[in-house]
């Protein structure tokens, strides 16, 4: 700031002394410096805005990746639940089949027992006849 104040003071002195060519050159130099400062400030601001936008984009990508991961996890849980329910239904089917086989065996045993009783009764009846 001191340098630009000094330049403005020099400019005023040149104008007062009517050294217009030197005043015009100094004025041009002041304008170029100010223009550079403004341009650098804008460039820095633009870089900052771009960095913020990149951060936003990165965060959005992270959110999307997290959502994808969560969706995959949910899908895995659903598949596991389906598999578990299939396993349970298979287990129920196996149990039902085993129960039927046991009932069949019980029925067969029952029929065999009945047949034995009938055979023994017939044998007893035959012995009584003799």
pLDDT score, position 101 = 67
Rg (alpha carbons) of the chain, rounded to whole number: 51
Q: What is the pTM of this model?
A: 0.38
**Is residue 115's pLDDT more than 60?**
yes
**Is residue 87's pLDDT more than 80?**
no
Q: What is the mean pLDDT of residues 25-33?
A: 89
CA distances to 35, 89, 113 from 102, rounded to whole Å, are: 99, 20, 16
Q: What is the mean pLDDT of residues 80-91?
A: 62
């Amino acid at each position: 700031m001191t340098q630009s104040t000094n330049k403005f003071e020099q400019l005023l002195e040149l104008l007062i002394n009517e050294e217009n060519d030197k005043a015009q050159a100094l004025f041009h130099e002041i304008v170029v410096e100010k223009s550079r400062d403004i341009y650098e400030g804008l460039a820095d601001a633009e870089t900052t805005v771009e960095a913020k936008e990149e951060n936003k984009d990165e965060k959005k990508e992270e959110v999307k990746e997290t959502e994808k991961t969560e969706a995959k996890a949910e899908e895995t849980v659903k598949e596991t639940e389906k598999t578990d329910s299939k396993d349970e239904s298979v287990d129920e089917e196996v149990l039902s089949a085993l129960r039927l086989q046991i009932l069949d065996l019980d029925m067969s045993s029952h029929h065999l027992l009945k047949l034995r009783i009938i055979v023994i009764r017939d044998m007893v009846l035959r012995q009584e006849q003799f």
